[in-house]
Amino acid sequence: MSIDTATVARIARLARLPLDADAAPQIADELTRVLDLAGQLANAPLDGVVPMAHPQAQTLAWRADAVTEFDRADALLALAPDARSGLYAVPKVLG
């Protein structure tokens, strides 16, 4: 896939990035090479490749499912400048 300078200018405008007109051809060339590499990777042979979740063999450490924290909701709500019905009340920010 080939990217031209007009496409680079459009991308820069959409991303609201400043674009130096002298740098546009180099950026177009670099984007073209990146897209070509992505195309090559998309066509890589994957027959017989086993997917892996993580490159290192890791296991989860199991622990008992027990409550370790006590309920502090009322104490924390008491610190709020304004709380109603168990919820923090905040000023309206959107009009």
Confidence at residue 36, expressed as pLDDT on a 0 to 100 scale: 95
> Cβ(88)–Cβ(82) under 8 Å?
yes
- ∠ at Cα 84 (82, 87), nearest 5°? 90
Ordered by start, the domain boundaries in the chain are 5-42
Q: How far apart are CA 1 and CA 31, in angstroms?
A: 9
Q: What is the pTM of this model?
A: 0.51
Q: Tell me the pLDDT tens digit for each residue of 31-76.
A: 999 999 999 999 999 898 888 777 787 788 888 899 989 999 999 9
Q: What whole-number percentage of the chain has pLDDT above 70?
A: 99
